[in-house]
Structure 1
């Protein structure tokens, strides 16, 4: 969604099983807000992060 002076972003992520989902979501939210503001040159009103999938770690 975009207004004239700000944007709201929706981001869907997949996390690895065993990670702290809240920690991942907080980091994603901060990084997306920072980069989007720099790229778009506008204020980021909100970044909505939703976890779409939890995956097992790849075996080495």
Structure 2
């Protein structure tokens, strides 16, 4: 099966404590955090992959931009 690459817009917000919170507007509830910008991006990539995996297992449509 060929590998599919999906792209999603993410919103990154700097927290008062210096870390970052990242959300994916197209994927409700898909949110993550990180101490640095790079860490937050790595974590949201993992969260997106998990979201897509669960949606597939539940036979739910996976939103695409």
TM-score range (shorter-chain normalised) is: 0.3 to 0.5
Q: Which has the larger radius of gyration?
A: 1
Q: Please, what TM-score do these two structures have when normalized by structure 2?
A: 0.42
Q: Please, what TM-score do these two structures have when normalized by structure 1?
A: 0.45
**Higher RCO, 1 vs 2 (CA within 8 Å, ≥6 residues apart):** 1
Greater strand content: 1
